[in-house]
Every structure is written in C-alpha cells, then in structure tokens.
Amino acid sequence: MFADLKNDFVFRTIFTRRPDLLCGLLNDLLERQGDQAITEIEYLPSEQLPLAQGAKYSILDVRCRERSGVTFVVEMQLLHVAGFGNRVVYNACRAYAGQLGPGDPYTKLADVVAVTICDFTLWPDDAQDAAGLPRVPMLSRWNMAERTSGSPGLLQVQYAFLELPKLPPGPPRTPAALWAWLFVHTKKLTAMPPDLPPGPYREVVELAKEAMFTWSEVDAIRKVFDEIELTRLHIEQEVAKGVAKGQAEILAKGLAKGLERGRLAGRVDALLTVLARRGLEPTPEQRARIEGCGDVGWIDRWFDRAITATSVAEVLEAPGS
C-alpha cells in the first residue's frame, strides 16, 4: 500500500525531508539542466497566509531558495476554488516583495518561481478551442512578455502549472509526465513498478509506502483528507445556493452523500495504512470486506482495534464473538 502523493501532508512531508527529491522535481518541471540545474536548496519557513473563503489550507506546501537566490513556491492544489489564479499570483508576488526589509535596495530582489501541481484542469482544451486559442499543455510555463514582439523581458516572477488530468494515456514519455504519472497513480500501486527509472522517482515511491509513516502521521493524513472533503463540500454548497430551491434540496442531499463517501474512503485508507504499518496483511476476502463496508462507525472501530490487534481477523471480529 502506498500513500496518495497528492495529499498535502504526504506531499509536504516527503519533499521537505528530502531536498534532493525536491531539486529533482523542480529541475524536471522547470527544465533546468546542466549548469542551470538546481543542486542545492535552503528551505524557508512555512508562510502563514490570510484565510480566505474556500481556502484549502492556510500554509503553503513548500518554500525554498537556491544558492543564486531564486525562491520557489511549490504547492499541491486539489480543489479549483474561486479566485485560484489570483491566489497563485498573490502568493508569488508576496514572496517577491517579502524579500525586502526597510531601507533595502531593490537590487536585493531575486526571482520567484511559483510551481503549482493541480488535480484539476485550469485551461480545458474545449474552452481553448471554442475561443480560437492554442491548447495549453499539461506542463505550462508563464511569465510577463511584451505584447507585440513577445519578448520575455520581465522574468522576475514566473509560474509553472502541472495539470494532472491532462496526463496522456500510456507510458510517460517526458520527466514532467513521469512526475504527473506518479502523482496520479502511486496511491493505486501494490508494488514498486519494475520499469520505474532509478533516482528521485523510485525514491519518492519508496517514501510513499504507508508503512513508512508513524501513527501520528497516519492520523494527520486522515485529517487533511477530511479537511479537503469539507472544503469541497463548502464550495459545492456555495454553488448550490444559486440553484432553485427544489433543485438545491436535491443537490444538497447528493452533496451530503458525496461527502460521506469521501470521508468513508479516507477512513478506509487510514485503516489499511495502520494494518500495513503493523505488518498485518489482509486476505483478499478481508480487504474486500473493509473496502466494501459502508459504515464509517465500523471503520473507526476497526481502526482503533488495529492499533493493538495481533491479526486482521481480530480487528474485524464482531462484538461478543
């Protein structure tokens, strides 16, 4: 079993513990090679941001700076909240302006690159086609350029977006596509893919093994999942407010069921993580029973038992048996 690399806690844990893996991710997404490759970074303190409506979290995932002074703001974003693009620009510009203290010269300012991994589509192909605009690729790079000549004269603040839903089918053919494949598929793996290239890719998957996480980390992963689902519900409820009353009531019931399914999936993942952490491997029948259970209360009872039980059967036994 492997943890979901898209989970904010998992993402932050792996890429703040291993700067070499973060360098590998940045080099591939920013196409930094040779003399331009990022080989050493300094982590910056997590930046507390103003709370805004629909915010998934109030702390940026990872902030770091390379030796040349360039700052990187790296985020994993699961929800397409209102004003998301503005938020990315705000965070990048805040990081850029925040380099100066009172009386510091503007020459002290170094470039900022905001790298955002999105579990949703920002620029849908059909919308681009309808507008007569070029399609935006899965990995897109943005900066200010002169309108007529296209000269990229202002590079102080740059942006990179990796839109995971645009991952092409089939084996990944580029380093960026390989990272996208890992973010999308690692949670579904049952073993290390034999054809996965050595280096940061295999190491990230190795660190995502659920047995690598402590009890408190498993709980943190579950809490992050719940927070994301609650935020998702909040956003959808706001949308539902604009629907006619009768339709809104139907939609609200559907949203409640959707949230319950999301919470249930998070609890199931946490239970399986604890079992893996303790070396208790469910049989196919036991796994089917866990994954097919539709009662959050039972999953939570099994989770509590799994902390001390000596077998999966003991975890799943009925009261009084």
Most confident of 26-30, 240-244, 294-298: 26-30
Is residue 312 pLDDT above 50, yes or no?
Answer: yes
Residue 93, in any domain of the structure = yes
Percentage of the chain with pLDDT > 90?
31
Specify the higher pLDDT residue, 18 or 218.
Answer: 18
> Per mean pLDDT, which range of 1-5, 22-26, 109-113 is the poorest?
1-5
**Quick one: 172 and 157 in the same domain?**
yes
Q: Which of residues 214 and 58 earns the better pLDDT score?
A: 214
Quote the number of domains for the chain.
2
Q: 72 and 112 share a domain?
A: yes
Q: Tens of pLDDT along 109-138?
A: 999 999 999 989 999 998 888 888 899 999
Residue 250 above 60 pLDDT? no
23/58: higher pLDDT: 23
In a domain, 321, yes or no: no
Q: Bigger pLDDT: 166 or 272?
A: 166
Residue 242 resides in a domain:
yes
Q: Is residue 108 domain-shared with residue 253, that is, in the same domain?
A: no
Most trustworthy range by pLDDT among 50-64, 159-173, 283-297:
159-173
156 and 31 in a single domain? The answer is yes
Choice between 183 and 225, residue whose per-residue pLDDT is larger = 183
| Residue 130 shares a structural domain with residue 235 | no
Asked whether residue 129 is assigned to any structural domain, the reply reads: yes
The reply to whether 282 and 312 lie within a common domain is yes
The stretch 16-39 carries a mean pLDDT of 92
- Dump pLDDT digits (tens) for 153-197: 789 999 999 999 999 998 999 999 999 999 999 988 888 989 898
If asked whether residues 118 and 168 sit together in one domain, one would say: yes
Domain that holds residue 257: 215-316
Residue 273 pLDDT class (50, 70, 90 cuts)? confident
Last residue of a domain, one of 156, 185, 208: 208
234, 188: one domain: no
Q: What is the pLDDT at residue 227?
A: 67
SS3 labels along the chain: CECCCCCHHHHHHHHHHCHHHHHHHHHHHHCCCHHHCCCCEEECCCCECCCCCCCCCCECCEEEEECCCCEEEEEEECCCCCCHHHHHHHHHHHHHHCCCCCCCCHHHCCCEEEEEEECCCCCCHHHHHHCCCCCCCCEEEEEECCCCCCCCCEEEEEEEEEEHHHCCCCCCCCHHHHHHHHHHHHHHCCCCCCCCCCCHHHHHHHHCEHHHCCHHHHHHHHHHHHHHHHHHHHHHHHHHCCCCHHHHHHHHHHHHHHHHHHHHHHHHHHHHHHHHHCCCCCCHHHHHHHHHCCCHHHHHHHHHHHCCCCCHHHHHCCCCC
- pLDDT: is 218 or 181 the higher one? 181
Residues 203 and 226 in one domain: no
- What is the tens place of the pLDDT at every residue in 63-103? 899 988 999 999 888 877 777 888 899 889 999 999 998 99
Mean per-residue pLDDT, 231-240: 59
Q: What local confidence, expressed as pLDDT, does residue 129 receive?
A: 87
Question: Domain ends where: 158, 176, 208?
Answer: 208
183, 208, 233 — which closes off a domain? Answer: 208
Specify the pLDDT at position 251: 47
